[in-house]
Chain A
Amino acid sequence: MKLIKCHIENFGKLNNFEFNFSEGFNSIKEENGWGKSTFATFIKSMFYGLPSTTKRNLDENERKKYTPWQGGNFGGNIDFEINGKQYRIERFFGKNNSEDTFSLIDIATGKESKDYTENIGEQVFELDEEAFERSAFIPQKVLNSSINESISNKLTNLIQGTTDNYNYEDAQDKLDKKRSFLSNNKGSGQIQLIENKIEDVIGQITELNTSALAINDIQKQVDLYDNDIDKLLKEQSEIKTQIKEYSKAQQKIANKDLYNKLSNEVAETNKTIRVKENIFNGKNTSVPEIDSYINIAKDVSKRESELKLKEKDEYVNKKYDSLVKYFGDENDIPTAEKTKEISDKILNYNSLKNQVESLSVQQKSINESNKKSKLLGLFAILSLLSLILGAVLINTSLMVSVILLVIGGILLLSSGFMYLVNMINVKTKNVNNVNYEQLQSNNNECLKLQKEIEKFLYCFEDVDTDYNTAINNIILNRKDFENIKKQKEENLKENNELRDSLSEEKVKVENFLEQFNLDKNIDLLDNLALLKQTLIDISNLKEKLKKEQEELDNFKKEKNFDIDDNSIVNVDINKLQSKESEYQKQIDVYREYKSNCVAKINKIQDDISALDDLESQKENLENELNELNKEFNAIKNAKKFLEMANESLSTKFLEPMKNGLNKYLSLITGKDFENLKLDIDFNISFEEYGKYRDVDYYSKGYKNIIDLCMRLALIDALFDKEKPFIVLDDPFVNMDDVKIENAKQFLHELSKTYQLIYFSCHESRC
């Protein structure tokens, strides 16, 4: 298989780019950044297309990475020859696979060819894209990166199709760890833990299920109690029926009693009405009529009261009586002339009495002057005695003598003063002694008048009252008596007139009351009130009677009993009630038993309600266990089949790789590498001096060569049918000039077998 030419319309930074491939070695020398990797990827993409992925990393998303910078159609075409036939692949890419276009043209005919499909890469090379990329594409970085790492590992990865960081051993290790995590000898694996949990849950479920079984037994007991209760209820019901019958009979008696009572009430009311109606003596009247007579009677009564009041005018009567009493008798009342006469006498008497009293006072004064003269003489003697005694004692006792002399002096002076005053009074009294006789005469006249006055006055007034007051009282009382007497006579006249008018109204009322059976001794108004009340009572009683009658009729109608039915239910009600009560007790006992059973069932049911939860837990755990077991089996199987695959691959590639490596190393170095050893893990070692040396003992450049040779050996081993073109992206950057020359020669040699597309950025490596 060989490439002929290609046209890149737009791919990454390349656009409208043409390249004609030579049959063997194609060297492309361009500066870094020209787009060598883009060109290499374009060639691959023509055969394998571009994968569709959502990965954001450009290195992992070629479609995104090589979307044309300048826009335009994304893709191009490539011409190649296989089995003597030339074809053109034309591919254009969209945002994803579905937008991609692919066509294969048979160049000879210019028509579309169906020899291959869009999966042409795999169909031609019998390798998938990854294997192709990992073998026929020899990028710079692979060789560069291999410097510090085991070549064998890189190659193993190349074949294993794993990533740079993981390989078969890592995979096995990961599987081992996961297997141990799921199940291990310590019993701490997830599967074992879940199994333990399931066992625990099953234990709890079993325990609750055992409890649940008890429900059936208790339920049976409940059913038995229900039967017993039903039976007892039935028997109790029969007793209750008998009690009911008895009660009915009792009720009938009670009804009859009540009926009789109601009947009696009706009769009693009737009787009362008749008694009350007797008053009316068969005469008809009405409350308004009675009221009209009551009004008349009240008026009469009122006016009579007024009359009586007038008759009994307390003031007039009292006054009249008191005046009569004052004067003793109506005939003894003094006349006006008599009272005038007495009044004049009192005046005369008072005048005379005053004269007598004046003369009496003068006479009394003269008598008292005589008594005072005798007293002056006594004072004069006493003063002389004091003066004499004072003079005598002057030599004996000066002090006493002085005092006596002073007292005697004072007494002497007082006697002299009193003498002078008495002498003046005696002179005046001597004049009045002349009227003494007149005094005696007046006094006699006065006594005479006093007798006459007092004789009159003491008939009506007290002895102690003075004469003027007494005569005035008598005069006034006489006048009052005349007035009162006059008023009394007028009252009497008015009363007589009123009494005459009242008796006419009264007769009218009396005539009305005359018709009825009433006690005539009772007051008219009382009788009228009685009549009215009786009439009202009768009306009320008739209303009452009506209701009582209705009640009686309704009762009879409602109860609907035969009044003449006197049948009696002869049962011992106490015995029946006791029996019924006994049944009730038994029923209550069974109900309590049942209630206890129901409570037990409820308790168990509440307990076993946790069963749902436990069963769900069990189910979830079993599901989890099932999944874990599947995972465990999958891990076991994966481990087993990975082991088998690894062994198979190693066996398949080991010998061809060893031969190929030997061949290419000999070609580059010109040496024979019979001492080379390649183990099942593609670890390379060389025998030197009887000992195998690891490749790491060799220089960096040498390791690059070994690396390249390993890859070429792999290409030989992989592409056993159609030899592919090999793309080399500046693989000799780490080689010294000597080795580069050897390598260049080697490439030219290799281009005899493979079409090589060799990229480099330096003249020295071209």
Chain B
Amino acid sequence: MRFIHCADIHLDSKMETNLSSPKAKERKKEILNTFERMVTYATENDVKAIIIAGDMFDTARITNITKTRVLNTISKNPNIDFLYLSGNHDESNFISLIEDVPKNLKIFGTKWTTFEYGNIKITGVCLNENNSATIYDTLNLSLNDINIVVMHGQIIKHNSKEKGEIINLTKLKNKNIDYLALGHIHSYIQDKLDKRGIYCYSGCLEGRGFDECGDKGFVLLETDDDKVLTKFIPFAKRQLVELVVDITGYDNWFDIESEVLEQSKKLSFDNLLKVTLKGKYKIKLDKHLGMLEQKLEKFYFVKIKDESILEVTLKDVENDISLRGEFIRKVLSSTLKDEEKEQTILVGLKSLFGEDL
């Protein structure tokens, strides 16, 4: 029997990539489309149930159209059960606003709730501040069943930018769990839980910010007689990719552009690309960030982040008797912050050389 474990779909969520308004709207639609594509995949691959381990939506701002499309998708696939667990971002109380809950949409409560598929038992609980400390004592799973447990929260081992309920893995050990389906962390992580089982964060379906780079998708579970086989299925329409380029030692901008373009060659233009420039550069290096962005315009979205630092010391200009040397010396000797010093020197030099500010 097959199941899909997904989480953190964050439908209608805000894009974190500084996308333009039209593109942000387009990405929102793409996330919804990816969810629908996943359901089609489930239909085509005889998946019995889709486990949504929390954060299907984001905040209270679910648009009516998203809600309608999700409900239509669920009700038009009556052969697939949708096992829905609320996450820390599911503030909207999605279920309470549905007047006719589809029969195949099944909800995990704040106490352990189990859905049975023969000897496969899928048990889950929505964690909150009232139950998160004591819930482990009430979890009783049969030794002879295949047990899949669903939760949404943060295991202590992994850090997440979002605050969520803490999941105590130690208390879940030796509970006859075969597969612990988790949600909250937006990257695919799988590791051993105990002698019998594994725990797994499926990650999100689509990345929304450059802190969610890499392959995104869901986990396909296939149960054998007494075990669960898992396979991560990359499924995102687009990937978010960050290229970090150290420009230390480069004397001219052309070489830096060539390096960035070379590194970006292997990437699909469908991706969202962030180029971060790091390292130190000499004052002689004339940067053309706009030009670089233009050369990468074939990508769906490009963001250039310049974190490189101007490398200039008093010693470097000690023999420069010119106004430029004196100016740099004055700035470097000032009490300005390093970033301010760098900007001041760059602006001052541009003005001295008659360049556009």
Contact = CB atoms under 8 A, between A and B. Distances in A.
A226 interface: yes
Contact of A161 (B99, B323, B340): B323
Contact of B351 (A54, A131, A174): A174
A131 B61 contact: no
Contacts of A219: 93, 96
Contacts of B331: 637-638, 641
A389 B341 CA distance: 187
A638 B348 contact: yes
B97 interface: yes
A598 interface: yes
Interface stretch (B13-21, B113-121, B132-140): B13-21
A161 B344 contact: no
B252 interface: yes
Nearest to B17: A616
B227 to A, nearest CB: 41
Contact of A127 (B321, B326, B329): B321
Nearest to A215: B60
Contact of B21 (A172, A617, A641): A617
B324 interface: yes
Interface string A519-537: 0000000000000000000
Interface in B247-266: 251-252, 254
A26 to B, nearest CB: 26
A642 B357 CA distance: 15
A638 B351 contact: yes
Interface string A157-187: 0011111011010111011001000000000
A41 B18 CA distance: 51
B357 A635 contact: yes
B15 A131 contact: no
Interface stretch (A409-417, A559-567, A606-614): A606-614
A631 B99 contact: no
B99 A638 contact: no
Contacts of B12: 609, 612
B208 to A, nearest CB: 11
Contact of B61 (A609, A646, A649): A609
Interface stretch (B62-70, B150-158, B238-246): B62-70
Contact of B347 (A215, A635, A646): A635
B296 to A, nearest CB: 19
Nearest to B317: A128
A162 B323 contact: yes
B159 interface: no
A175 B347 contact: yes
B322 A171 contact: no
A620 interface: yes
Interface in B310-344: 317-327, 329-331, 334, 336, 339-340, 343-344
Interface string B117-149: 000000000000000000000000000000000
B64 A602 contact: yes
A605 B63 contact: yes
A619 B15 CA distance: 11
Contacts of A718: 321
A151 interface: no
A594 B354 contact: no
A615 interface: yes
Given A601-B97, A605-B64, A642-B348, A163 B327 contact: no
A161 B317 CA distance: 12
B346 interface: yes
Given A161-B322, A605-B63, A612-B24, A645 B99 contact: no
A266 interface: no
Given A163-B354, A222-B96, A634 B322 contact: no
A591 B100 CA distance: 11
Contacts of A644: 330
A594 B352 CA distance: 70
B319 A54 contact: no
Nearest to B252: A54
A594 B99 contact: yes
A605 B321 contact: no
Nearest to B339: A630
Interface in A579-610: 591, 594-595, 598, 601-602, 605-606, 608-609
B18 A623 contact: yes
Contacts of B326: 645-646, 648-649
B63 A609 contact: yes
A166 B331 CA distance: 21
A172 B320 CA distance: 21
B63 A53 contact: no
B206 to A, nearest CB: 15
B14 A638 contact: no
Contact of A638 (B13, B60, B344): B344
Contact of B322 (A53, A97, A131, A174): A131
B320 A130 contact: yes
Contact of B14 (A170, A171, A594, A616): A616
Contacts of B330: 641, 644-645, 648
B336 A166 contact: no
Nearest to B349: A638
Contacts of B317: 128
A433 B344 CA distance: 189
Nearest to A134: B322
A133 to B, nearest CB: 11
B292 to A, nearest CB: 15
Interface in B2-29: 12-15, 18-19, 21, 24-25
A390 to B, nearest CB: 142
Contacts of B334: 637, 641
A126 interface: yes
Given A161-B352, A165-B354, A649 B347 contact: no
A228 interface: no
Given A162-B354, A641-B331, 20 more contacts: A52-B251, A54-B254, A131-B320, A160-B322, A160-B323, A171-B354, A174-B354, A175-B357, A212-B61, A219-B96, A605-B63, A606-B65, A612-B15, A612-B24, A623-B18, A637-B334, A638-B327, A641-B334, A646-B323, A718-B321
5 contacts: A130-B322, A591-B99, A638-B331, A644-B330, A645-B326
Interface of A: 52-54, 96-97, 122, 125-128, 130-131, 134, 159-163, 165-166, 168, 170-172, 174-175, 178, 212, 215, 219, 222-223, 226, 591, 594-595, 598, 601-602, 605-606, 608-609, 611-613, 615-617, 619-620, 623, 630-631, 633-635, 637-638, 641-642, 644-646, 648-649, 718
- Closest 5 CB pairs between A and B? A161-B322, A160-B323, A638-B348, A634-B343, A166-B354
